[in-house]
């Protein structure tokens, strides 16, 4: 496995190869969710590039940028063992300059849900994803469905800026008890870890209510809120594929999204209905 930290060196190197490139951007502290993206990329591309970059511009003031889990050595091993061809480990100073051209996320869909409580977060996400995609120029780039709003906005960016990459969506990997895997799960105490199960349990209930014929989004989210109580809820909503709100679930075209705070940790999850 090649490890490259300089963006221009990586870009030049990749330009010499005339092969399909699968790209998996991450912020490190790799878990099995990340590995499923890597596996998917390996299956369909001649080479796989993984980036590890804790992107400062997507963290708001006072958020967990400084304490975000970093496991560079373990992550390098994991990538090597997973058959990654190139690990891109850039430094912030090589990605950002002082006076930046920036990408702005859409004014409505970028400032609802997670973007409402973290205004500007998605500007940072789209800016860095744009830069990374331009450096790597992958054939296919892999993103998790767990971060549904992020995935939606990345797909919008690629479509609206007429970018050439294929965005591939990968299913959410869960622990055996249903908790969606996340680098932030390490922040949870034993007690909080138990409380966090209310998230997947509320989603399962939504799914089972729909299976039994309940289609009122208000009715479903009310019960979900009861299950999630007393956790601090940022949102529990049911939207369509284009992220518009729905009064009635449209089976196959509806996603239920949840974000809560467990202790000091924000956790999000979702399920297609
Ligand atoms: P992160 O390192 O948290 O920025 O995540 C990097 C990529 O992995 C993003 O596309 C995430 O959506 C994806 N990802 C994170 N957690 C999971 C999971 N549990 N299952 C599948 N993909 C995930």
What pLDDT was estimated at residue 20? 98
Average pLDDT over residues 227-245: 96
Give residue-wise pLDDT tens across range 186-229.
999 999 999 999 999 999 999 999 999 999 999 999 999 999 99
**230 C-alpha to ligand 1 centroid (Å):** 27
Dist. CA 39–CA 33, nearest whole Å: 10
Kindly tell me if the per-residue pLDDT of 182 is higher than 90.
yes
What pLDDT was estimated at residue 190? 97
Kindly tell me if the per-residue pLDDT of 112 is higher than 90.
yes
Whether the model pTM is above 0.75 = yes
Kindly tell me if the per-residue pLDDT of 147 is higher than 90.
yes
* Pocket of ligand 1, beta carbon within 6 A: 26-27, 33-34, 36-37, 143-144, 146-147, 170, 172-173, 180-183
Ligand 1 atom having least distance to the Cα of 27:
2
Task: For residue 261, give every residue at least 6 positions away whose Cβ sits within 8 Å of its Cβ, in sequence order, or none.
Answer: 231, 232, 234, 267
What pLDDT was estimated at residue 102? 84
Ligand 1 atom having least distance to the Cα of 30:
2
Asked about 91 being catalytic, the answer comes back as no
**147 C-alpha to ligand 1 centroid (Å):** 7
Kindly tell me if the per-residue pLDDT of 128 is higher than 90.
yes
Mean pLDDT of the chain: 97
Ligand 1 atom having least distance to the Cα of 144:
12
Average pLDDT over residues 241-246: 93
Dist. CA 146–CA 257, nearest whole Å: 10
Given the residues 34, 121, 152, 244, select the one marked as catalytic: 34
């Amino acid at each position: 496995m090649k490890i490259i930290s300089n963006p221009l060196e990586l870009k030049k190197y990749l330009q010499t190869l005339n092969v399909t490139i699968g790209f998996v951007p991450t912020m490190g502290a790799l878990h099995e969710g990340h590995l499923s993206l890597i596996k998917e990329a390996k299956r369909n591309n001649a080479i796989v590039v993984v980036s590890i970059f804790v992107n400062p511009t997507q963290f708001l003031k006072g958020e967990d940028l400084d304490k975000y889990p970093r496991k560079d050595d373990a992550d390098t091993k994991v990538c090597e063992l997973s058959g990654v061809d190139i690990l891109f480990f850039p430094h912030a100073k090589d990605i950002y300059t002082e006076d930046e051209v920036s990408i702005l996320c859409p004014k409505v869909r970028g400032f609802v849900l997670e973007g409402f409580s973290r205004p500007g977060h998605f500007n940072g996400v789209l800016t860095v994803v744009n830069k990374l995609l331009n450096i790597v120029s992958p054939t296919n780039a892999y993103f998790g469905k767990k971060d549904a709003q992020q995935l939606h906005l990345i797909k919008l960016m690629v479509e609206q800026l007429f970018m050439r990459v294929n965005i591939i969506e990968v299913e959410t990997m869960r622990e055996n008890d249903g908790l969606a895997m996340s680098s932030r799960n390490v922040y949870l105490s034993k007690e909080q870890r138990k409380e966090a199960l209310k998230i997947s349990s509320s989603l399962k209930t939504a799914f089972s209510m729909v299976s039994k014929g309940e289609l009122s989004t208000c009715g479903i989210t009310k019960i979900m809120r009861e299950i999630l109580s007393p956790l601090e809820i940022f949102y529990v909503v049911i939207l369509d594929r284009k992220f518009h709100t729905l009064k009635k679930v449209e089976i196959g075209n509806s996603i239920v999204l949840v974000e809560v705070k467990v202790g000091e940790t924000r956790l999000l999850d979702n399920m297609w209905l």
